[in-house]
Structure 1
Amino acid sequence: MNEPQVWALIGVFAAGMCGTITLVVTMFVRIMKTEFASVRNEFTSVRNEFASVRREMALGFEAVRTEFRAVHGRIDAIDRDVNAIYRHLSGIDRS
């Protein structure tokens, strides 16, 4: 343990280990940053897709409301016609 070559080898080994650990940690941090950015982009695209679906559903609901209003108008017209026929046949309409 007193030989200078042993201490030199210990120093080289320690420097190599520190360098390897530094390289691995740096690469790990870089990969994690990249993956977090990727996940963030995926969440953004999912959020945009949900917003698109929500807009399409709102348009679809508005179309359904329009159709219901049209059907309601037709039912009112049929009700008016049936009442007129009933009054005509029952003699209520004759003055």
Structure 2
Amino acid sequence: MELSDPQAWTMIGIFASAMLGGMTLMTTQFNRVLRAEIGGLRGEFGGLSGEFGGLRGEFSGLRSEVHAEIGGLRGEFSGLRSEVHAEIGGLRGEFSGLRSEVHAEIGGLRAEMRAGFEVVNVRLDSLDTRLTRVEGKVDDLDTELTNIATRFWRSQ
């Protein structure tokens, strides 16, 4: 079948308009699908934003709880620190009292030892005096025995 020029051009026009109509239809459908998908993504992003907002709220709540716990722990540690300082102060007082008692006892023992040494010194001085007298008497006896022996040996 042979086509004349006007028929060929008509066929080309029909084909071109069919192609343009199909492309228009496809573009329109693609545009609608794209808008629907973008709208879905917007919805999902909105949901994610809501979830992020919820997570922010949870983190904020957790942050508040952690701060409250840390504040409580600080209070407890402060109380414990005060108790420990009070105990240390009490122990210092007790040790100071014990130190005073020990110093007093040591002072008393020193006084007793000095008194005992004085008694021993007096007794030693007394013994020294007595030994000096005994030594003098022994010297006198020695002199007398020497004199007696000298007289006895001369007389013979």
Give the AA of the match of 2:64.
E
Q: CA deviation at 1:3?
A: 4.9
Partner of 2:123: none
CA 1:88/1:21 → structure 2, altered by over 3 Å: closer, same or farther?
A: same
Cα-to-partner distance string for 1:19-72 (whole Å, 9 max, x where unaligned): 211111111111111111111112111111111101100100110111111111
Partner of 1:11: 13
Separation in structure 2 between the aligned mates of residue 12 and residue 21 of structure 1, nearest angstrom:
14
The 10-residue stretch of structure 1 (54-63 or 79-88) with the greater mean CA deviation from structure 2: 79-88
Separation in structure 2 between the aligned mates of residue 37 and residue 85 of structure 1, nearest angstrom:
70
Separation in structure 2 between the aligned mates of residue 2 and residue 33 of structure 1, nearest angstrom:
46
Q: CA deviation at 1:8?
A: 3.6
The share of aligned pairs that are identical, in percent, is 31
| Runs of 4+ displaced beyond 2 Å | 1-12
Partner of 1:83: 85
RMSD of aligned residue pairs (Cα, Å) = 2.0
Separation in structure 2 between the aligned mates of residue 24 and residue 85 of structure 1, nearest angstrom:
88
Q: CA deviation at 1:4?
A: 4.5
Identify unmatched segments of 5+ residues in structure 1: none
Q: Which structure has the higher relative contact order (CA within 8 Å, separation 6+)?
A: 1
Structure with greater helix share of residues:
2
CA 1:75/1:6 → structure 2, altered by over 3 Å: closer, same or farther?
A: same
Please state if 1:45 is matched with 2:47: yes
Separation in structure 1 between the aligned mates of residue 74 and residue 58 of structure 2, nearest angstrom:
24
Identify unmatched segments of 5+ residues in structure 2: 98-156
